[in-house]
Amino acid sequence: MANKDPVRVGVLYSETGVTSTIGKSQLQGTLLAIDEINEAGGLDGRELVPVFYDAQSTPAVYARLAERLILEDKVNVILGCYMSSSRKAVLPLVEKWNKLLFYPTLYEGFEFSNNIIYTGAAPNQNSVQLAEFMTANFGSRVYLIGSDYIYPYESNRIMSELVLQRQNSEKVAERYVALDATEQDFDPIIDEIRNLQPDFIFSTVVGDSAACLYRAYADAGLDPRTMPIGSLTTSEAEVSQMGGAGIGHFTSAPYFQSINSETNLRCLERFRQRFGAHCVPNQCWEAAYFQTHVFANAFVRAGTDDPAQLVPKILGSELDAPQGRIRIDPTNHHTCLYPRIGVVNSKGQFTIVREATRAVHPDPYMVTHSMGDWAAELSTLEL
Ligand code: ACM
């Protein structure tokens, strides 16, 4: 007789702590996909059951709960993590126990694990495009400001290398603030920016303090038309915390809520019916959503979530995601995605000003990237 036992999957995001706004959205994207999978008959008739823990935006808690999921709840697959420090905390555990982590967040690249599937953007899918866009439109003197942990350090290194390929370029300054920085903590940063007058600011500030940076910038009367902030992490979720201070600033990401495709619009409608109107879909929500379907499709093909049999079914698989048709690259476990640049508008959404018309292959070690990695351009920019 066919096995009808439920299948448990670990779900590890942060409902509390400094990255809880984005973490909640990742959880909701995951739960939406799980609902859809179960409504469509489950995994060959087996219900998919999330085992969720709140990792409190704290890497040590991620590690403890990942081990609990593996050893006590006996899951083979974990969907989770936002900050790279949390992925770095979970990585040795999924490797040690030979389990699988699906990681739905843009990150700094320069990593590979047989036990991770990376569904957010690698630097050749967001940093290269942002560097090109900002330097072409505003100039090549960059001020780097980030939260104090691994993703900002590494992402700033990559951005510096890209920008410094340009003529008349300069790294004006590179500063870090605590993950729980307040608006006051940004006052000296903003003073320095006003004095140094960079052409643009690259922000790798994550979580709640992102809103503090943009508010401090706006309160100081600085002008995004002449000295904008460009970011890879400021999504609709962070913008929703800023009360208008994000308007006119840029983000490079494979997904924005404003993508006008039927797949996206239908997904957003189902999402709002399930979770209400005040949720904030964003690039990490979308990756959390589509990677759950990637997992489910592979499970059905493998008949198991044993990583040894599941991973070969994941690699090379494709899916119509809200951003477009994605593919898991079989050589490096990252995902073919669609680079886009958006500018924050008065509705708290992103107006998409540039977009690739076909997926860009992930190149997490930045081996073959170059400036001008756009597959095609949507339109010329009108600011
Ligand atoms: C990040 O820490 N990967 C945003």
Tell me the pLDDT tens digit for each residue of 207-224. 999 999 999 999 999 999
Average pLDDT estimate for 9-16: 98
**Residues 235 and 347 grouped into a single domain:** yes
Tell me whether residue 361 is in a domain: no
207 CA → ligand 1 middle, Å = 10
143 CA → ligand 1 middle, Å = 19
Tell me whether residue 368 is in a domain: no
Average pLDDT estimate for 345-373: 88
Query: What pLDDT is stored for residue 137 in this prediction?
Result: 96
Structural domain including 275 reads 7-120+261-336
Query: What pLDDT is stored for residue 371 in this prediction?
Result: 67
6 CA → ligand 1 middle, Å = 32
**Residues 347 and 206 grouped into a single domain:** yes
Mutate to test the pocket of ligand 1, among 118, 147, 233, 284 (most ligand atoms within 8 A of CB): 233
Q: How confident is the model at residue 377 (pLDDT cuts 50, 70, 90)?
A: low
In this structure, the residue with its CA closest to atom 4 of ligand 1 is: 83
Q: Would you say the CB of residue 84 lies under 6 angstroms from ligand 1? A: yes
Query: What pLDDT is stored for residue 375 in this prediction?
Result: 57
**Residues 252 and 267 grouped into a single domain:** no
Taking 70 as the threshold, does the pLDDT of residue 383 lie above it?
no
83 CA → ligand 1 middle, Å = 4
Q: How confident is the model at residue 381 (pLDDT cuts 50, 70, 90)?
A: very low
**Residues 114 and 134 grouped into a single domain:** no
Taking 80 as the threshold, does the pLDDT of residue 134 lie above it?
yes
Q: pLDDT tens digits, residue range 301-339?
A: 999 999 999 999 999 999 999 999 999 999 999 999 999
**Residues 225 and 350 grouped into a single domain:** yes
Q: Would you say the CB of residue 284 lies under 6 angstroms from ligand 1? A: no
Tell me whether residue 288 is in a domain: yes
Tell me whether residue 381 is in a domain: no
**Residues 152 and 252 grouped into a single domain:** yes
Query: What pLDDT is stored for residue 278 in this prediction?
Result: 77
Tell me whether residue 79 is in a domain: yes
Q: Would you say the CB of residue 206 lies under 6 angstroms from ligand 1? A: yes
Query: What pLDDT is stored for residue 347 in this prediction?
Result: 96
Tell me whether residue 60 is in a domain: yes
Q: Which atom of ligand 1 is nearest to the CA of 85?
A: 2
Taking 60 as the threshold, does the pLDDT of residue 376 lie above it?
no
Q: Would you say the CB of residue 233 lies under 6 angstroms from ligand 1? A: yes
In this structure, the residue with its CA closest to atom 1 of ligand 1 is: 83
**Residues 167 and 114 grouped into a single domain:** no
**Residues 213 and 233 grouped into a single domain:** yes
**Residues 252 and 144 grouped into a single domain:** yes
Lowest mean pLDDT among 9-13, 25-29, 52-56, 379-383: 379-383
Q: pLDDT tens digits, residue range 229-242?
A: 999 999 999 999 99
Smallest CA-to-CA distance from 229 within 356, 142, 106, 340 is with 142
Domain harbouring 110, CATH code: 3.40.50.2300
Query: What pLDDT is stored for residue 368 in this prediction?
Result: 79
Q: Which atom of ligand 1 is nearest to the CA of 120?
A: 3
Q: Is the dihedral of CA 276, 277, 278, 283 positive or negative?
A: positive
- Mean pLDDT for all residues in the chain: 95
**Residues 23 and 105 grouped into a single domain:** yes
In this structure, the residue with its CA closest to atom 3 of ligand 1 is: 107
271 CA → ligand 1 middle, Å = 24
Q: Would you say the CB of residue 107 lies under 6 angstroms from ligand 1? A: yes
Tell me whether residue 382 is in a domain: no
Tell me whether residue 373 is in a domain: no
Q: Is the pTM of the predicted complex or chain greater than 0.95?
A: yes
**Residues 137 and 179 grouped into a single domain:** yes
Count of the separate structural domains present in the chain: 2
Q: How confident is the model at residue 380 (pLDDT cuts 50, 70, 90)?
A: very low
**Residues 146 and 253 grouped into a single domain:** yes
